[in-house]
Structure 1
Amino acid sequence: MDVNQHYRFTVPDRSYASLTKKDITRLAESFALSEGAVGRVNIIVSEMLTNLEKHTTQGGELLVKAIGKPIKGIEIICLDNGPGMADPNLMLQDGVSTYGSAGEGLGAIKRQSDVFDLYSQAQVGTVIVAQVYKSTKSMPVARRYEIGNVMVPKPKEVDCGDGYAVIHHERGVYLLALDGLGHGTHAQEAATTAVKIYCEDPIPDPASALRAIHTGIRRTRGAVGLAANIDITQNKLSYCGIGNIAGKLFSMDSPLSKLTYKNVISYNGILGHNVPGTFNTQSLDWNRNKILVVHSDGLKSRWDLSRYPNLHRHLPTTIAAVLYKDHSRQTDDTLVLVCKAK
C-alpha cells in the first residue's frame, strides 16, 4: 500500500532552483536511497529546474513523494504551464533543442529514471514524471491495471487532510479515496484514521466498508469518501461514495477512439457524523478500455479528459498530474486518484 503525500516545491523563477535542489536531495537521503540513487535524483531535478528556467516565464512546481511503505523509491513530478511541445517524442532525442542548447535535458532525465513519462501539448504545458527505485526488486509488479495519484496539501500547509488506500488482492484491487473535513492536522487525523480502519480489515463490499469507517471515526472531524472494489475476474467495478467526493469512469470506445464517461455518484452525508439510513453498493462494467478517476473537492469539478489528446495512453500518475496542474483550486488539499486498466 502506498499512501504517501507529495511535497510541493514552487519554483516561480531561477532564484528558487538551488534551494529546491538541496531540499529534494535531503528528502531523497531521508528516504534511505543509496548514494548512487541520490546522484540520479540530483541529475533529474537539475534538468527539470533548467527546463523550467529556459522554457517558462512563470516557472512551475515540483511534486516529490516517497514510493511505498516501507519506502521503495522516490517520485518526482515536474509541472509547468509553459508553451508546451508540438512533438514531445522528438524533443526526447539528444541534440534536439528549441533553445539552442545541447538538447540533452529530457534525454538525461529519461536515462536516470527507472520509470519515465512525458506529456506535453502546445498551449497546455508540460508534465514530466520520473521515478527512481532502490533496486529492480522494488519496482512495481506487473498487473492488469495501473494506479497513480497526486495528493498535495493546501498551499502553505504541511499536513494533508486527504487520504487514500490501495490494497491489491487476488481478484483485483480495493481503493479508498478520502477528504477529511477542512484542512490541516485535524482533517489529516480523520483521513488517517479512516485509512487505518479500511486497511486493517479490508471489506470487499464498498458500502459495508464505509459503514465501518463511519463508526470508527465518530470522534474525529469526519470525512467524505469513496470506496471501490475492482474485480478483474468478473470485469466489474463496485463502489459506494458518501459526501462531496467525485468520480468518473471513462471508456475508450473503439474504433472511433472517443472518450465517454459515466459519473460515479455519491450519497449525501459525512462519514463519522451523518450518513443516510440506507446506502448501497453500485456497480459498473470494468474492462481493458476503462480509466477510473476519483478526486476530492480540491479539484474543480468541470474538467474534461478529452481536452487532452492521447493523455489516456499515459501513466495514471501523469493523468493525475495533468488534472492537478490545470484544475486544482489551490484553496484546499487536493487528491486525484487514477486507476487504468491495461
Structure 2
Amino acid sequence: MDLNFSGPVTRVVTIEETTQVGQARREALSLASQAGFNEGDAGRVALAATELATNLWRHGGGGRMYLSVIAGHDGPGVELCTIDRGPGFVLAQALQDGYSTGGSQGLGMGVIARQSRVMDVWSDDRGTVVLARIHAERAPRNADLAYGAVRLPIKHEDACGDAWHLQVQARQLTLTMIDGLGHGVLAAAASEAGVRASALAPAGEGAVDRIARLHAGLSGSRGGAAAVACLSLDNGAIDFAGVGNIAGSLLIADTSRGMASMPGIVGVQYRKAQAFALHAPAGTLMVMHSDGLQARWSMRDYPGLQHRHPALVVAVLHRDFDRGRDDVCVVALRAGAFE
C-alpha cells in the first residue's frame, strides 16, 4: 500500500439544541463529497451524522461533533466523533434496537453501527466519546487504517498552525508533525510549507534527512517545531528525529517510552537533528502531539483505552488534556496495522 496523506483541519459542530443537528448533517455531507462518495454512500454518512448529533443532544446533554476526511486502504472515508459530558451508557445494550435511556425508539446506535466500518465508544465519569468511521460500500473489508488524528486551531482562529503528514512507501511508514511558531495565518503558512515538503520526499528517506528537507521547506517562514518518525513495516524499527516541542510516546504493553526532540526552530536555526533508534512491536501505539496538548497524560488513568481504536484514544486525550490556548494536533497509530 502506498499513501501520501496530509491531515485536514478537523471540523467541529457544537450541538446544544435540536436545530444544530441539521448543521452536523450538512457538514457531514460536505465531507462525503470531498471523499468522492456516491449518492448512496453520502446518504449513509448523513444518516449516521443525524443519529449521532440527535443522541448527543437528547441523551448526552449536548456536546461537540468532530468531522474529518480520513485516509483508507482504498480511498478516503469520513470520520464522525461526538464528545459529551453526559452520564454514559453501555455500548452492548445501546446497540440493541429498542433500547433507550431517553424515551426514544432506541434505534439510533444500531443505525450508526450499520452504516460504519468502525464504531467504538469510550464512557467514563467525564462523559462519552462515540467514534464512527464510514467508508464507501465498495471499499474492501480492510478499508480502515488504524490511526486517528485531531487538528484544531486556537479558539476564534480559522487557520491552524499545527499540521501532520502520513506517508507509506517502500515498506516504510513516515509520520511527520509540524507546529508553526505561534498561531494564526503565519503559523499555518509555515506548517503547510512543511507538509508540502514532506509530501515530495522520496521513498525510504530517513528522519534526519526529512528534518533537513523540512528546514529547507520552511525557510523564509517564521519556522516551527517538527518531528519525524519512520517506522519499518517489516521489522518495527523506528528512526526518529525531532526539533522543538513535539512530544512523542511509544505505548508497548504496560510501558511508555518517550521520543526525545532537540532544541531549535526548523526553518530558522537548529543544530543538526539527532536520530534515535527505537522499536515498535506489532500492536504498539505511537502517539505524537504538539504542545497544544498537555504532556502529563498517562494511559494508566484509562484502563483498556490503549488497546482501542487509535482515533478513540486521540479523542479522549484531546477531551481531557487540550490546553485551550494554542493550536493543537494529536496523531496516534497502531504499529503492524498498515500492511
TM-score (norm 1): 0.89
Q: CA deviation at 1:101?
A: 2.3
Structural mapping, 1:53-202, within 5 Å: 53-57=57-61, 59-68=62-71, 72-85=76-89, 87-113=90-116, 115-137=117-139, 146-202=146-202
Q: 1:307: which partner in 2? A: 301
Q: C-alpha separation between the residues in 1 aligned to 2:143 and 2:47?
A: 26
Q: Could you tell me which of 264, 270, 294 is aligned with 1:275?
A: 270
Q: 1:46: which partner in 2? A: 50
Q: Secondary structure at the match of 2:325?
A: coil
Q: C-alpha separation between the residues in 1 aligned to 2:158 and 2:140?
A: 28
Q: 1:217: which partner in 2? A: 218
- Confirm or deny: 8 A CA contact 2:164 2:177 kept in the other structure: yes
Cα deviation 1:173-197 (Å, max 9, x = unaligned): 1110111112222111111111111
Q: How many residues align?
A: 330
In structure 1, list runs of 5 or more residues that go unmatched.
253-258
Q: CA deviation at 1:13?
A: 3.4
Greater mean deviation of Cα atoms: 28-37 or 69-78: 69-78
Q: Could you tell me which of 260, 264, 271 is aligned with 1:265?
A: 260
Q: Secondary structure at the match of 1:214?
A: helix
Cα root mean square deviation, aligned:
2.3
- Confirm or deny: 8 A CA contact 1:241 1:266 kept in the other structure: yes
- Confirm or deny: 8 A CA contact 1:119 1:311 kept in the other structure: no
Q: C-alpha separation between the residues in 2 aligned to 1:138 and 1:222?
A: 40
Q: CA deviation at 1:135?
A: 4.4
Q: CA deviation at 1:249?
A: 0.8
Q: C-alpha separation between the residues in 1 aligned to 2:328 and 2:69?
A: 17
Structural mapping, 1:218-257, within 5 Å: 218-252=219-253
Amino acid aligned to 1:317: A
Q: Secondary structure at the match of 2:326?
A: coil
Cα deviation 1:25-81 (Å, max 9, x = unaligned): 344345543221222122111111111122223x21111122349973322111122
Q: CA deviation at 1:124?
A: 3.0
Q: CA deviation at 1:105?
A: 1.1
Cα deviation 1:96-131 (Å, max 9, x = unaligned): 222232221111101012x22222223132222222
Identify if the C-alpha distance between structure 1 residues 212 and 75 changes in structure 2 by more than 3 Å, giving closer, same or farther: same
Amino acid aligned to 1:98: T
Q: Secondary structure at the match of 1:100?
A: coil
Amino acid aligned to 1:131: R
Q: CA deviation at 1:140?
A: 5.6
Cα deviation 1:234-280 (Å, max 9, x = unaligned): 3311101100111111111xxxxxx210111110111011212x432
Q: C-alpha separation between the residues in 1 aligned to 2:12 and 2:143?
A: 27
Cα deviation 1:192-236 (Å, max 9, x = unaligned): 111111221235321121022112211011110110111132331
- Confirm or deny: 8 A CA contact 1:162 1:188 kept in the other structure: yes
- Confirm or deny: 8 A CA contact 2:13 2:23 kept in the other structure: no
- Confirm or deny: 8 A CA contact 1:118 1:126 kept in the other structure: no
Q: C-alpha separation between the residues in 1 aligned to 2:46 and 2:105?
A: 19
Greater mean deviation of Cα atoms: 15-24 or 294-303: 15-24
TM-score (norm 2): 0.89
- Confirm or deny: 8 A CA contact 2:248 2:286 kept in the other structure: yes
Does 2:300 align with 1:336?
no
Identify if the C-alpha distance between structure 1 residues 24 and 2 changes in structure 2 by more than 3 Å, giving closer, same or farther: same
Identify if the C-alpha distance between structure 1 residues 139 and 215 changes in structure 2 by more than 3 Å, giving closer, same or farther: farther
Amino acid aligned to 1:190: A
Q: C-alpha separation between the residues in 2 aligned to 1:18 and 1:36?
A: 19
- Confirm or deny: 8 A CA contact 2:123 2:129 kept in the other structure: no
- Confirm or deny: 8 A CA contact 2:34 2:69 kept in the other structure: no
- Confirm or deny: 8 A CA contact 1:116 1:128 kept in the other structure: no
Q: C-alpha separation between the residues in 2 aligned to 1:135 and 1:95?
A: 26
Amino acid aligned to 1:82: G
In structure 2, list runs of 5 or more residues that go unmatched.
none
- Confirm or deny: 8 A CA contact 2:135 2:143 kept in the other structure: no
Q: 1:2: which partner in 2? A: 5
